[in-house]
Structure 1
Amino acid sequence: MEISNIWYFLSGLTLLSALMVVLAKNPIHSVLYLVFTFFCISGHYVLLNAQFLMAVNIIVYAGAIMVLFLFVIMMFDLRKNQPESKSNLTKLAGSVVAGSLLVVLIALVRQNNFQTPQVEGFVSQTGMVENLGKVLYSEYLLPFELVSILFFVAMVGAVLLGKREAGERNF
């Protein structure tokens, strides 16, 4: 299968699942469609030879943040808090805004002239984790260590703030 066919297939799946995020009536189904959208975007990262971004996208977004969203949604009793039905004027205004945005996006895509990538200058090892690690631990070692110290201090501060009693104020 050719890469352009895979790209079109992934793009179609991504757009369809993103549309289902908005159109799903059940919020849990919406979160699950969003997780699937993140997996499709990770497939695009693989096609761009950015395996590190693919792994981070799956671990951080699809793994951690969406599971947190899913737990929060499941904690609410959604049957009790049903919103009132939207009026026809609100639905018409939303349709007009969405249609005009679609027209603007189509006009922008038709007006732009997309260039094909140059195959001669392509380096296949650019987005690999090994090369990223070499650059991170050689050229950017000091900023990397400073950020790790900053995260450690933030974690200690969060633990200390969380352990403090509710009525106690020590500044």
Structure 2
Amino acid sequence: MSLFYLLAVILIASAIFTITQKSPVYSVVGLLVNFLALAALYFTLNAEFLGVIQIVIYSGAILMLFVFVIALLSSGVGPFRAGPNRLPRIAAPALLTTLVAFGFLIFGIAQRPFGPLPPHRPTSFLGNVGDPNVFGSVGDFGVALFTVQLLPFEVTAFILMVAVIGVVLIAGDAVPQPTLGRHRPQKRAAEREPILKAPAP
């Protein structure tokens, strides 16, 4: 339990560090610590599959995508322009929304009774699929994903596919099309090379 509280403190501290840093590089470092702490939290809950996915996908692929975006923005490559700072205008609504969301969360937790957990059998969203003693294993997760949780899995895959198609359509309009030799700028008459004429006899 002490390890859980330690990881929870690291998660909260790294999240606050990420959103309060002015340098995007420091924010990426804080986000990396947050992802690794969350993966460690999954491992403590015997969810090794989620922990490995957290490290491989989030700490690896997605974080590397953030690094590439920061590198492109810092180098000035691409059609990126710094827009106006909207943070002061949205700070108050965002804070109010966060407080309301936390209020509903605390109210829901207070209204739901929680009994003591059985020893060495953590509560799982997987239901009774598989052996409860191997909760979070790859086999147990796969069985639950394609049986009990099949419909949410397919809906999530469909939403991701629609999002990818939308990104391609939106980005396609912003990419300049090659001219392929057409519409080349013509030189002015003064800049053209003079045509050599034969001397008159």
* TM-score class, shorter: 0.5 to 0.7
SS in 2 for 1:21: helix
Name the structure 1 match of 2:66.
Answer: 69
**Aligned-residue identity in percent:** 24
Q: Deviation of residue 119 (structure 1)?
A: 0.7
Instruction: Give CA-to-partner distance per residue, 1:92-125, whole Å, 9 cap, x none.
Output: x433223312321332233123524531692331
**Of 46, 50, 66, which aligns to 1:49?**
46
SS across alignment from 2:134? coil
Deviation of residue 13 (structure 1)? 1.3
Deviation by residue 1:116-169 (Cα, 9 ceiling, x = unmatched) = 453169233121235557x49xx88xx9xxxxxxxxxxxxxxxxxxxxxx899x
Q: Which amino acid in the other structure matches residue 74 of structure 2?
A: D
Provide the residue aligned with 2:135 in structure 1. 126
Counterparts of 2:115 and 2:45, CA distance in 1: 13
Preserved CA contact (<8 Å) 2:42 2:51: yes
TM-score, normalised to structure 1, is 0.61
Note if contact 2:120-2:133 (Cα within 8 Å) is conserved in structure 1: no
Q: Which has the higher contact order (CA 8 A, sep 6+)?
A: 1
Secondary structure at the counterpart of residue 74 of structure 2: coil
Give the equivalent residue in structure 2 for 1:155.
none
Match of 2:100 in 1: 104
Q: State how far apart, in whole Å, the 2-side matches of 1:45 and 1:167 are.
A: 52
Contact 2:39 2:52 in 1 (8 A): yes
Of residues 17-26 and 51-60 in structure 1, the stretch that sits farther from structure 2 once superposed is 17-26
What secondary structure sits across from 1:118 in the alignment?
A: coil
Cα distance between partner residues in 2 of 1:34 and 1:109: 24
Aligned residue pairs: how many?
A: 136
Unaligned runs of 5+ in 2: 122-131, 151-177, 181-201
**Are 2:4 and 2:41, in contact at CA under 8 Å, matched by a contact in 1?**
yes
Computed over aligned residues only, the root mean square deviation of the Cα atoms, in angstroms, reads 3.7
Q: What's the counterpart of residue 21 of structure 1?
A: 18
Separation in 2 of the partners of 1:48 and 1:6? 11
Residue 27 of structure 1 and its aligned partner are, at CA, apart by 1.1
CA pair 76-95 structure 1, distance change in 2 beyond 3 A: closer
Q: Name the structure where helix makes up a greater proportion of residues.
A: 1
Are positions 1:37 and 2:34 aligned together?
Answer: yes
CA deviations 1:63-114 (Å, max 9, x no partner) are: 1221232123123336898847748xx62x4332233123213322331235
Instruction: Give 5+ residue unaligned stretches, structure 1.
Output: 144-165
Q: Is the 8 A contact 2:48 2:137 kept in 1?
A: yes
> 2:57 and 2:116 mapped to 1: Cα distance?
29
